[in-house]
Structure 1
Amino acid sequence: MLLVSHVNAMPNTLNWTAYGTGTSGNAQIMAISQLLQEKHGTQSRVIPGENDTMRMTPLKTGRVDLCACGIASYYGSEGVMMFARPDWGPQPIRVISTSMATFGLGMAVAGDVEIDSIADLEGKRLAYLRGDDALNKAAEAYLAFAGLTWDDVERVDFPGYNAAFDGIISGRADAAITTTVTPAAQRLSASPRGIQWPELPGDDESGWQQMLEIAPYFQPHNVTSGAGIDADDPLASASYPYPIMVSNADLDPETVRGLITTLVESFDEYKDNAPGASGYALENQNMTWVVPFHDAVVEYYRDAGVWTEEMDEHQNALVERQTLLMDTWERYKADASEDEEAFISGWMTERRSALEAADMNPVF
C-alpha cells in the first residue's frame, strides 16, 4: 500500500451532497464518512440530491464542501447543458477521487435484432430521452464510434428512461443507452426479446477517436457485471467514473490532503463496505481525465512518485481551459440578452469561438 503521510489536519465536520439514499454512490460516501470519523474524528453530513441541480447547487453556493456527483461535474466545469443558464456558467470544479467499478455504460439492444457491431445500428430504432441531455449525448457518442449520427438511425422519443425500455420490450424501439446494471436493462434481459451489448473494441483507434470527439469523458472499460454479461467473458465497452468526488478549487488544501491520504492509504479498510467502493483503488484513477484535480491531490500524487510530467502538462491544460471558459463567461454575461433562450444560444456560440481561438476542442 502506498504510504506518503499520516498526520493531516481534518475539519470537525465535512458537508457533502451525493446521490439519493439507496444508490451505490450514496452508500460509498457513507462508508467513507464512517472511516473519516474513525481516523480523524470528522463528522460527515451527507445531503442526498435526486438530480444534478440538487447535488450541484449546494457546492456552487458553498453550502457543502464536496459533491459525490455524476458526469454533471464535467458539464459544470465546461459551462454546458444546464450550466449554460444565466444563473450558472463554468464552475471551478476540482476532482478529489473517482470510482470505476465493474459495470459500464453500453448500448442495450434487443436480443432479436441482427447486429454484430455498433455500425449495424444504422436504420434501427434508437430511443431518445426527452430532457436527458447526458444520456442522449452518450448515445450520440456511441453512434460516432461507428461514424454514425442521429440522422442514420430512426429516433424514437420517450418521456423518460423507464418508458424507453418499456418501448423496447413492447417492440416500439430496438435500443437505448444505459448502464449495464440498471433494473431497466435487467427487465429487457428477462423479456422475450432478450438483450445484447455491441462491443467497442479497445484497439479500434479511429472508433475511439470519433467517440471521444463527442464525449471525451469516456474511456475503454472491460465490463464484468450487468444484464446478460458473464464475468468470465468481459464486455469490451466504455464507461466513466461514478461517483466523481469533486470540490471547488478553493477547498482548504489541508482538508483535501487529509481526504486523499485516507482514501489511498486506508483503501483496504473501506473497499468492501459498499457496492462499488473498490472502484476508488489507486490503479483505477485516470490521471489525465477531463476535469482537473485539486492542487492538494496533485501534490499528494507527486509526493507519492506517481505523478508524471505528462500528467502535469495535462493538468495545466485543463486549468487553462477552465480559466478561459470562466473569463469568457464573465465578459459574455455583462452584455448578454435577458431572454434565457437567447442567453444560452449566445453563450454557446461565444464559448465555441473562444475555445476554437485557443485551439481547444469545443466538444459541445
Structure 2
Amino acid sequence: MKTTLRLGLAATGFLAASMLAPATFAQEMPDTMVWTSYDVGSAGYAEASAIADAFGKKFGTRIRIQPSGSGIGRLQPLLQGRADYAFLATEAFFVSDGAYDFAMPDWGPTNLRAVAGRPAGITLITAADAGIRTVADARGKRIAFVAGNPSVNVKCEAILAFGGLTLDDVEVITFPTYASAMASMTRNESDGTCTTPTTSQLYELAESPRGIFYVPLEADNAEGWAGLLKVLPIMSPSEEDVAAGLPEGEIAKMAAYRYPVITTTAEKSADEVYAFIKALDETYDLYKDGTATMKRWTLEKSGKPAIDLPFHEGAIRYLKEKGIWTAEDDAWNQKRTARLDTMVAAWAEFKAANADLTGEAYADAWMAHRAEVIATLN
C-alpha cells in the first residue's frame, strides 16, 4: 500500500495556498521500506539511519534497516526482493563485474543500478618518517593490506598504479583485521596503507613520533590517473580538508570513491526511484548534520559520476530536472552500462563453457578470463 504525501506545503495550509500558487504535484512514497547497510556502528549504518529518520519525519515512511557485516549479506535481500535499497560499499562494483566474492558460480555479474553515493576520500597514507613523498617512492616499502578485504586492498592496488607500481614492487604486509592494519604504522610494522583520512588509528599515528603524511594524487597527473582507473574505474580526483594531523587550512589531494552507494535493481520502477531520490534531496536539511560527512549527500556531489554502477534511469530523470546531470555524465553512464552488459554476456558464455569447474577452480578461471575481457574495453 502507498500513501500519497504532498511536498512543499503543510497539509493544513494546502487549500488556501493552492489558490495563490501554482498547483503542487503529489509524490507517492511507500508506507514502509527495507534497506540494508553495513553493521551497526559503521558510517553506512549511521547515514542510512539519519536518512531513514528524515524520511519518517517528512513522509511518515517507516523504514527497517537490516545491517550485515558482509557484502553478500547486504546484497542478498535486495536481489531476493526482501529489501528495496542497499547502502553498499565497493561490493557494488565487485558484484557488477563478478569479482572476488562474486566470482563463484551462483553469483557472477549482476545488473544493479546506483541511485546516489556520497564521495569519500582515500589515498596512500604513510608514516612521515618513511620518506614516501610520491606514490612511486613506495617502491620496496612495507604496505599494510587487510586479509579477506578486497574493498580496501583493490583501492590500494589502484593507488599504487598511480605511481606506476604493482604489488610486486612493494612489500605487502597482510594484517588479520582492518583495525590492526590501520594501527600498524604507529607500531612500525608497516610504512603506509590506503584508507580514508579520518580513521581513528590515524589520529594516533599523527601524534606518534613517526608522524603522518598524505601522499598526493594530483588531479592534473593524467598518466597517474590512467593507471589508477585501469585497475579500479570508479574513482575521481578529490581535495580533502578534514584529515588526521592535517593542519587547518591545508588540502590533501586524494581520490574519491563512493560510500555508501544507495543501490537498487535495474528493474526497479523508474517512478519509484525518481520519488526516492527526490525525497533524498528534499529531506537534505533534516539529515545533513547527522554525521560529520553527511553534508556530502547534496546531489551536486552524490548524484554525479564516477560511481560503482550505472545510475538508474529514475535517478537520472530527477538529476536532469535539477540541472545537475550533464552530457558528460550521460557519456560516462553509457560507457559504464556497456561495461556491465559486456561482463554479463562474458559470464554467460564462460559459465556455459566451464560447467565442469566448481568452487575456487571456477572462480580462479573466471577471474583470469575477466582480466582478458577488461583488457578489450575502451
- Secondary structure of the residue that 1:272 maps to in structure 2? coil
> Which protein has the bigger strand share?
2
1:351 corresponds in structure 2 to 370
Describe how 1:76-155 pairs up with structure 2 within 5 A: 76-100=95-119, 104-155=121-172
- Write the distance in 2 (CA, Å) between the matches of 1:309 and 1:170: 49
* Contact 2:115/2:262 (<8 A) preserved: yes
* Contact 1:24/1:275 (<8 A) preserved: no
Range with bigger deviation, 312-321 or 294-303:
312-321
Identical pairs, percent: 32
Range with bigger deviation, 342-351 or 173-182:
342-351
Describe how 1:244-259 pairs up with structure 2 within 5 A: 244-259=261-276
- Tell me: CA distance 1:185–1:258, structure 2 relative to 1, closer, same or farther (3 Å): same
Q: What TM-score, normalized by structure 2, do the two folds share? A: 0.87
* Contact 2:182/2:193 (<8 A) preserved: yes
Range with bigger deviation, 193-202 or 69-78:
193-202
Residue 178 (str. 1) matches residue 186 (str. 2) = no
Shift of residue 324, structure 1, vs aligned partner: 2.5
Structure label with greater radius of gyration: 2
Alignment size in residue pairs = 354
2:5 corresponds in structure 1 to none
- Tell me: CA distance 1:124–1:350, structure 2 relative to 1, closer, same or farther (3 Å): closer
- Secondary structure of the residue that 2:329 maps to in structure 1? helix
- Write the distance in 2 (CA, Å) between the matches of 1:10 and 1:162: 39
2:56 corresponds in structure 1 to 37
Describe how 1:148-297 pairs up with structure 2 within 5 A: 148-285=165-302, 287-290=304-307, 291-297=309-315
Shift of residue 321, structure 1, vs aligned partner: 2.2
2:327 corresponds in structure 1 to 309
Of 332, 347, 369 in structure 2, the residue corresponding to residue 329 of structure 1 is: 347
1:64 corresponds in structure 2 to 83
| Superposed CA offset, 1:294-347 (max 9, x none) | 111111122333333332233223223222222332332234234212211232
- Write the distance in 2 (CA, Å) between the matches of 1:115 and 1:330: 44
Structure 2's unaligned 5+ residue stretches are: 1-7, 9-23
| Superposed CA offset, 1:158-208 (max 9, x none) | 223223344322323211112111122222223332221111122222111
1:54 corresponds in structure 2 to 73
* Contact 1:145/1:207 (<8 A) preserved: yes
- Write the distance in 2 (CA, Å) between the matches of 1:345 and 1:294: 31
- Write the distance in 2 (CA, Å) between the matches of 1:293 and 1:317: 11
- Tell me: CA distance 1:225–1:261, structure 2 relative to 1, closer, same or farther (3 Å): same
Q: What TM-score, normalized by structure 1, do the two folds share? A: 0.90
- Write the distance in 2 (CA, Å) between the matches of 1:345 and 1:120: 32
- Tell me: CA distance 1:107–1:351, structure 2 relative to 1, closer, same or farther (3 Å): closer
Structure 1's unaligned 5+ residue stretches are: none
| Greater length-normalized contact order (CA 8 Å, ≥ 6 residues apart) | 1
- Write the distance in 2 (CA, Å) between the matches of 1:326 and 1:26: 30
Shift of residue 250, structure 1, vs aligned partner: 1.4
